[in-house]
Amino acid sequence: MKAFAYVTAQTPETAVSLVRDQGRFLAGGIDLLGEMKERLAEPALLVNVKAVSGTRDITPDHAKWTIGANVTLAGLAEHAEKRNVFPGLADAAAEVGSPQMRNVATVGGNLAQHSRCWYYRHRDVRCLKKGGRHCFARGGENKYHSLFAGSMCLSPCVSNLAVALTALDASVVVQREKKTETLPIAKLYDAAWTNARVHNSLGPADLILRVEIPVTNGGRSTYVQMGEKADFDWALVSCAAAGRVDGGKLRGVRVALGAVAPIPWQVEAANKFLEGKEPTDDNAGKAADILLRDAVLQDHNAYKIPLAKALIRRALAKLAA
C-alpha cells in the first residue's frame, strides 16, 4: 500500500474541497482499503467523512424517511421501525457480508462501491474499466457477469441497497462542489450504462450525504437473493419488489434486479404489466419474461435467467403474502 495523508472533515463542503486533488473519501473503508492494498487505488489523501454532521441519522417522517450515508448496514438492518416500514431494505442490508462487516460498512459506501469483477480487481490486468482496450469477461470467465450491458463492460452492479432502493423509488442527496443535488437511484448509476470506465455517476469529489425514501400508504417491500453460499457471499442474482395490494390486485408495483447489469435493472413495461393484476405465479412469470427479454447470454452465465425468474416469482409472492 502506498503512503498517504489522512484528515477528518467536519462538513460536506470541507470534505469535497479536501478530496479534490488526488484524494478519496473514507467511511467504513471496506471497499476502498481493499483497492488500496491491491494498488488499484493510490490516493495521496484519505478524507474521513464519518464525522460529517447529520450523516449518521435515520429520520422517519410521514412523507419520506431520510437515512444518512454513514448509517452502518447493521444499523439499517436492525432499526425496528424502519424494518416495519421498509422490510425489503432491511433484508437487503442484512444480506451484505458478515456481521463484522455490516458493523463497519455504510449506506453510502455500499451504494458507491466499485466493480467486483475479477478482471478489474486483478492488479496485473488492464481491463476496459481500468483504461485498457478490452473487457476480458467477453469471451472469458463471465459466470458472475451481466446479462445486460449498454457499454462494452460486463461488470454488474452488486450493491444490495441499490436494488432495494430502486424498487422503493428512492433518491440520494449528493454534495457537488458547494451545493447539493438530489438524484434518483437510476440517475446515480446511469453513467455506468454508457461509460465502461465508471462504476456510477459520481465524480471523484461527489459525496453521498443521505438517502430519501418516499412513504406509500399501504406499501410493502421485499428483497430476495441467491448466492453460492448461504452466508457472507455476493448475490448471483437479487430481486427487490415494492408496492401495495388492494382488493387482491397489485398497485404501484416496482420490480428491480441486481447483479445482472451495470445498473440496477428495471423495465418500466414490466411494472406497467403488473398494475391491477392479481399476484399469481402466471402473472409473475409474464413480468419476468418482460424484464429479461433483452438479455444477452454469455458463455457461462445463462443460469442467471431461470434464477432471476424464480426470484421474481418469489419476491412478488412475498410482497402479496
Average pLDDT over residues 293-311: 97
Backbone angles phi, psi at 44, to 5 degrees: -80, -20
Structural domains present in the chain: 58-113+161-214 (3.30.465.10), 220-320 (3.30.390.50)
**Tens digit of each residue's pLDDT (9 = 90 or more) over 157-193:** 999 999 999 999 999 999 999 999 999 999 999 999 9
What pLDDT score was predicted for residue 219?
Answer: 87
Beta bridge mates, 201: none
pTM of the model: 0.96
Q: What is the mean pLDDT of residues 17-32?
A: 91
- For 255, the grid coordinates are 420490480
Give me the pLDDT at residue 75, please.
97
Question: Could you give the CA distance from residue 89 to residue 85 in angstroms, rounded to a whole number?
Answer: 9
What is the torsion angle, in degrees rounded to the nearest 10, for the CA atoms of residue 189, residue 192, residue 198 and residue 202?
-20
Q: pLDDT of 35-83, one tens digit each?
A: 898 888 999 999 999 999 999 999 999 999 999 999 999 999 999 999 9
Q: Are 57 and 14 in contact (CB under 8 A)?
A: no
Q: State residue 71's pLDDT score.
A: 98
Residue 39: the pLDDT is: 87
Residues pairing with 265 in the sheet: 257
Q: Provide the residue count of the chain.
A: 321
pLDDT in tens, 149-163: 999 999 999 999 999
pLDDT in tens, 111-133: 999 999 999 999 899 999 999 99
Residues in Cβ contact with 86 at an 8 Å cutoff, skipping those fewer than 6 apart: 65, 164, 168, 213, 221
Burial 18-30 (b: 16+ CB within 10 A, else e): bbeeebbbbbbbb
Strand-pairing partners, residue 257, are 239, 265
